[in-house]
Structure 1
Amino acid sequence: MRISTAQFYESSAANYSKNFANVVKSSEEASSLVRVNTAADDPVGASRLLQLGQQASMLDQFNNNMTTIKATLGQTEAVMTSIGNVLQRAKELALGAGNAGYTDSDRQANASELSQIEEQLLSLMNTKDENGKYIFAGSKGDTVPFSRNTDGTYSYNGDQVTLDLPIGDTQSMATNSTGWAVFQQAINTSRTQSTMTTPTPAVDGGRVVLSNGQVNSDVTYNAKFRGGEPYTVNFLSPTQLEIRDSLGNDVTAEASGNGVFSSSGGAATQTINFRGVDLKLNINMKTGDVPATVFPAPPSPNAYSFTLAAKPDSFNATRAPGNLSSDVVTNTSISNSAAYHASFPEGGAVLKFTSATAFDLYAAPLTASSKPVSSGVLAGNVATASGVDFTLSGAPSMQAGDQFSVTVNTHQTQNVLDTVAQLKTALSTPTNNNPQAIQALNAAIGSGIGNLTSGIDQLTSGLSSVGGRGASLTTQTDINQSLVLANTQTQGAIRDSDPATVMTRLTLQQTMLQASQLAFSKIAQLGLFNKV
């Protein structure tokens, strides 16, 4: 085989170009100490670097999320702490108002301070963050979470949704605490009521006062009391009462003292504990009263008898601002208990009119995909939906599209704002040293103290949740920092060059380049024309 001079020349030139390119590349690598600049440099390493880069971006986002959560938790904790201090002051005022030496003026002074506390609590519970979002409104950051109704009660307008942000590959954390969980779910210790059925008020004259009761054990109340209501409390004699459940069974043995009470001692308060409920009994005998006459045995129409049960659910129906009609709901009541418990939405409802007389009831919130839980037509000015009667003002003038937002109060829980408002009202009402008024006041104060304690406990639980998330955030921060360090080291091991290795390779390549230069110059002199 013959090799021409041109072939020698081209081969030497190609070898020289290759060596020169290697030297240039190694020089650049020695300067930057970066081994992988493109996928062609190391296909497997480039793929791994891409994965590590994505992980680094995720870790950076996790870090930003944790910074956001830390700021939000810090503000939430500060606001909750302030609310806790305010509630503690309200409790101190309630305890002070129960002092026997307090006059009506003293209690009214406490009520005045409670009024300020009520406004302060409302402001704190409607706190906004730096972006102008309400921090206790759940996912409805633009909606005022707590508002005062026309009857002086309060409603929660937010939702129960927490806003979660990822802080790790498999972990997310709530950035917020909802007002529903922190303030709306405080156990209501005053959720029972007693009602005198006989004798008539004129005959009684305030002689026997049985309080609504205070729940002292939720476990016993839910397990035993609720299953037997409504109860009937019958006074059999001046010293003995009996309690019968809804089936007529005698359950007096479960009452403290087996139903024995004293009809002497003036207005002294006696406590009867029954199935997790403390009932206060006051006997206010009048001058000349004979116990045997005041407490005739059943079936005398003047025998004392009370019904005892949990407070019935109540409703607040609010007219939508965009309604074409000016009608409002003036009264609500349960007309069909079975229908109510079977279909009325527990979390609130929307009553929407489809014509001047026809309406549908939806579970709140109302969306485009919502389906009615019941439907009906007006009977006069009453709309009956899922066993609840809604009475409209005047002659109805409803228009298609008009709607009402309905909230349900089951009395199982109570907003701390309602607790403060009720306590304020009780302290503002003068007793004028009337024994019955004083007894009613003491019962209201006891209820207020119990519900304030419950509200503070619920708030403490919310603070614990915030603190727990903060501790978890600290732990996850350490984990993420470790991952960032490992990611950086792994990327460096794949992407970066070893200086000694690069310099050794560069020296070898430079030597090879010099050799190829020398070979090229020698081959260039082997042409025939150089010999002529």
Structure 2
Amino acid sequence: MRISTSQFYNTSSTNNQRSFGNLVKTQQEATDLVRVRTAADDPVGASRLLQLDQQKNMLDQYKTNTTNVRNALGTAESTLNGISNILQRVNELAVSSGNAGFTDDDRKANAAELKSLEEQLFSLMNSRDENGKYLFSGSKGDTPPYARNADGTYSYQGDQSQLKLQVGDMLSLATNETGYDAFEQALNTSRSQTRLTSPAVDDGRVSLSDGQVSGSATYNDRFRGGEPYNIEFLSSTQYRILDAGGNDVTLEASQGGKFDPKSDNPSISFRGVDLRLGISLKPGDQANPDAAIAGHTFSLSSKADSIAGTRSPGNSSSAQVTGATISNQGQYNASFPGGGAVLKFTSATDFELYAAPMSDNSRPISSGTLSGSTATASGVSFQLSGTPSAGDAFGIKVDTHQTQNVLDTIGQLRAALSSPVDSDPTAKRNFQAALDSAIGNVRSASDQVASSISSIGGRGAALDVQSETNEALTTENAKTQSSIRDSDPASVMMRLQMQTNMYQASLQSYAKIASLSLVNYI
């Protein structure tokens, strides 16, 4: 077979280029020890490296999210610890204010300090993070969680949303603690009320406080099912309690319906409610104290829900909801939305009631027509001032007295401490009842804040475990990528030496053969 000169040169050039290319590639591999650069180097390995690289990017994102969650939780926890310290001081002031030796001036001094603590607490509950977002507003980071109303009370303006970040393949953690969870769910211990029903005019001989809820489970399970109750004093040492059905339930009360009027703090405990009892005999009653006390009767029940309405800023009229009363308890219990409502007028006289929040797809719960200046819907009668226009809407808020934020508790305690009681026995009893309520509610608020701190701690512990898992996965990911992508130095150097020798031999052979010519043999 004959080989042409051009064929020889082309074949030799191709072989040399291929050998040189392999040599250059091996030299580069020997320099950085990277075996797989493109899919052509190792299709299966390149595919696996792509998967591992995606996992690495995800782990890097988890690491960033972990840092963000840890910083956010740390800020929230330190703020809640500051709030807890303030509540501890508020509790100390409340307890000391009940000292029998305190005068009106002493209590006013405590009220002044409470005012300062209230402002500090208000500021902390409206704290911002390093990005200028409010800590406790939920998803409404640009809205202050608490606002002071015109009457001195406070309203929560945030929501219940927790902002979550994924810190692991199967784990997402909330970065925030909402004001709703930390402050709005503190149980209100002042959920019951009493009213003297006999005699018609209070003679001051028997007083009974509104009561404090000492056991929420018992209160909800037992007390609510039998109210209203009738407490009738049979003598100066005994009473009986009848439930709404007329059944005698006295045996469920402390000491089976007996009390010692000479005790320093006589009280009645019944179905999760503790009531402070006061007996004050008048001159001449000592001859027959039983006759003086017998016949005094009180009603005992839960506080009725309070309903208030606020005008929407977008209303075209100046009409206001000036009052609201439950006119039909059955309809109210059956259909009125406990989470609040929206009263919307479709004309100057016709209205519809919606559950809050209202959307374009919401359907009315009930509807009706104004009767004078009263709109009645779902068992509630709303009194309005002015004439509403079509499209006017009013937000309706329901207070079931089940919970109370601590700012309102402190405000009520401050008002009680500021009122003179030294020379007024009735005012003194009212003050003591307010003090009992404040102490119970501050304790409840402290427990709620402690629960939020504990929740943050639990998330922090879960974050630590997940962070260790992510670090281990990152290490294994790096090892696996290295085993696929990186070269063995010894094998690379042996291959480099072999390819170098082959390339040099190829060049020498080419030079020898290229110099061959028939001229040399003529």
Same fold? TM cut 0.5: yes
**Any idea what SS the aligned residue of 1:167 has?**
strand
Tell me how far apart the structure 2 counterparts of residues 198 and 111 of structure 1 sit (CA, whole Å). 36
Tell me how far apart the structure 2 counterparts of residues 497 and 134 of structure 1 sit (CA, whole Å). 53
Of 214, 217, 228, which aligns to 1:216? 214
5 Å-filtered alignment, 1:303-318, equals 303-318=295-310
Instruction: Give the deviation of 1:120 after TM superposition.
Output: 1.6
Tell me how far apart the structure 1 counterparts of residues 412 and 142 of structure 2 sit (CA, whole Å). 29
The answer to whether the aligner puts 1:238 opposite 2:204 as a matched pair is no
Amino acid at match of 1:153: T
Instruction: Give the deviation of 1:431 after TM superposition.
Output: 1.0
Identify the residue that residue 104 of structure 1 maps to in structure 2: 104
Identify the residue that residue 300 of structure 1 maps to in structure 2: none
Amino acid at match of 1:379: S
Identify the residue that residue 319 of structure 2 maps to in structure 1: 327
1:226-254 deviation digits (Å, cap 9, x = unpaired)? 11111111223333211111111110111
Instruction: Give the deviation of 1:3 after TM superposition.
Output: 4.6
Task: Select between 469-478 and 209-218 the one with higher mean Cα deviation.
Answer: 469-478
**Any idea what SS the aligned residue of 2:113 has?**
helix
Tell me how far apart the structure 1 counterparts of residues 438 and 206 of structure 2 sit (CA, whole Å). 23
Tell me how far apart the structure 2 counterparts of residues 478 and 244 of structure 1 sit (CA, whole Å). 62
Tell me how far apart the structure 2 counterparts of residues 441 and 484 of structure 1 sit (CA, whole Å). 63
Tell me how far apart the structure 2 counterparts of residues 140 and 364 of structure 1 sit (CA, whole Å). 17
Identify the residue that residue 476 of structure 2 maps to in structure 1: 486
The answer to whether the aligner puts 1:443 opposite 2:433 as a matched pair is yes
The structure-2 alpha-carbon separation of the partners of 1:513 and 1:226, relative to structure 1 and needing over 3 Å to count, comes to same
Task: Select between 331-340 and 76-85 the one with higher mean Cα deviation.
Answer: 331-340
Tell me how far apart the structure 2 counterparts of residues 529 and 291 of structure 1 sit (CA, whole Å). 152
Identify the residue that residue 489 of structure 2 maps to in structure 1: 499
1:41-73 deviation digits (Å, cap 9, x = unpaired)? 111111111111111111111111111112111
Instruction: Give the deviation of 1:528 after TM superposition.
Output: 4.8
1:469-511 deviation digits (Å, cap 9, x = unpaired)? 2222222222211111111221122122222221111111111
Task: Select between 481-490 and 447-456 the one with higher mean Cα deviation.
Answer: 481-490
**Any idea what SS the aligned residue of 1:361 has?**
strand
1:288-319 deviation digits (Å, cap 9, x = unpaired)? 335354345xxxxxx32221111111123222
**Any idea what SS the aligned residue of 1:329 has?**
strand
Q: TM-score, normalised by structure 1?
A: 0.93
Identify the residue that residue 418 of structure 2 maps to in structure 1: 428
Task: Select between 105-114 and 144-153 the one with higher mean Cα deviation.
Answer: 144-153
> Is the 8 Å Cα contact of residues 122 and 146 (structure 2) preserved in structure 1?
yes
Task: Select between 345-354 and 17-26 the one with higher mean Cα deviation.
Answer: 345-354
Tell me how far apart the structure 2 counterparts of residues 132 and 422 of structure 1 sit (CA, whole Å). 31
Tell me how far apart the structure 2 counterparts of residues 25 and 325 of structure 1 sit (CA, whole Å). 82
Instruction: Give the deviation of 1:531 after TM superposition.
Output: 4.7
Task: Select between 501-510 and 490-499 the one with higher mean Cα deviation.
Answer: 490-499
Instruction: Give the deviation of 1:277 after TM superposition.
Output: 1.1
Tell me how far apart the structure 1 counterparts of residues 376 and 120 of structure 2 sit (CA, whole Å). 39
Instruction: Give the deviation of 1:402 after TM superposition.
Output: 2.2
Tell me how far apart the structure 1 counterparts of residues 520 and 302 of structure 2 sit (CA, whole Å). 120
Identify the residue that residue 156 of structure 2 maps to in structure 1: 156
> Is the 8 Å Cα contact of residues 5 and 526 (structure 1) preserved in structure 2?
no
Task: Select between 1-10 and 306-315 the one with higher mean Cα deviation.
Answer: 1-10
Identify the residue that residue 370 of structure 1 maps to in structure 2: 362
> Is the 8 Å Cα contact of residues 350 and 361 (structure 1) preserved in structure 2?
yes
Identify the residue that residue 198 of structure 1 maps to in structure 2: 198
Task: Select between 339-348 and 210-219 the one with higher mean Cα deviation.
Answer: 339-348
Identify the residue that residue 147 of structure 1 maps to in structure 2: 147
Instruction: Give the deviation of 1:5 after TM superposition.
Output: 4.5
5 Å-filtered alignment, 1:253-402, equals 253-262=251-260, 265=262, 269-289=265-285, 290-296=288-294, 303-393=295-385, 396-402=386-392
**Any idea what SS the aligned residue of 1:379 has?**
coil
Task: Select between 133-142 and 219-228 the one with higher mean Cα deviation.
Answer: 219-228
**In percent, how many aligned pairs have the same letter?**
56
Tell me how far apart the structure 1 counterparts of residues 268 and 340 of structure 2 sit (CA, whole Å). 36
> Is the 8 Å Cα contact of residues 341 and 396 (structure 2) preserved in structure 1?
yes
5 Å-filtered alignment, 1:408-427, equals 408-427=398-417
Instruction: Give the deviation of 1:16 after TM superposition.
Output: 1.6
Unaligned stretches of 5+ residues in structure 2: none
Amino acid at match of 2:231: V
> Is the 8 Å Cα contact of residues 194 and 211 (structure 1) preserved in structure 2?
yes
Amino acid at match of 1:513: Y
Instruction: Give the deviation of 1:385 after TM superposition.
Output: 2.5
The structure-2 alpha-carbon separation of the partners of 1:527 and 1:342, relative to structure 1 and needing over 3 Å to count, comes to farther
> Is the 8 Å Cα contact of residues 268 and 283 (structure 1) preserved in structure 2?
no
> Is the 8 Å Cα contact of residues 325 and 380 (structure 2) preserved in structure 1?
yes
Tell me how far apart the structure 1 counterparts of residues 130 and 320 of structure 2 sit (CA, whole Å). 37
Instruction: Give the deviation of 1:377 after TM superposition.
Output: 2.6
Q: TM-score, normalised by structure 2?
A: 0.95
> Is the 8 Å Cα contact of residues 8 and 523 (structure 1) preserved in structure 2?
no
Tell me how far apart the structure 1 counterparts of residues 519 and 42 of structure 2 sit (CA, whole Å). 46
Tell me how far apart the structure 2 counterparts of residues 182 and 110 of structure 1 sit (CA, whole Å). 26
Tell me how far apart the structure 2 counterparts of residues 321 and 431 of structure 1 sit (CA, whole Å). 42
> Is the 8 Å Cα contact of residues 149 and 155 (structure 1) preserved in structure 2?
yes
> Is the 8 Å Cα contact of residues 62 and 168 (structure 1) preserved in structure 2?
yes
Instruction: Give the deviation of 1:337 after TM superposition.
Output: 2.0
| Root-mean-square deviation (Å) | 1.9
Tell me how far apart the structure 2 counterparts of residues 122 and 468 of structure 1 sit (CA, whole Å). 26
> Is the 8 Å Cα contact of residues 355 and 400 (structure 1) preserved in structure 2?
yes
Amino acid at match of 2:166: P
Of 500, 504, 507, which aligns to 1:510? 500
Tell me how far apart the structure 2 counterparts of residues 515 and 478 of structure 1 sit (CA, whole Å). 56
> Is the 8 Å Cα contact of residues 183 and 458 (structure 1) preserved in structure 2?
yes
5 Å-filtered alignment, 1:99-138, equals 99-138=99-138
Instruction: Give the deviation of 1:125 after TM superposition.
Output: 0.6
> Is the 8 Å Cα contact of residues 232 and 245 (structure 1) preserved in structure 2?
yes
Tell me how far apart the structure 2 counterparts of residues 73 and 67 of structure 1 sit (CA, whole Å). 10
1:186-207 deviation digits (Å, cap 9, x = unpaired)? 1111111111222212xx2222
Tell me how far apart the structure 1 counterparts of residues 520 and 194 of structure 2 sit (CA, whole Å). 128
> Is the 8 Å Cα contact of residues 145 and 157 (structure 1) preserved in structure 2?
yes
Aligned length, in residue pairs:
520
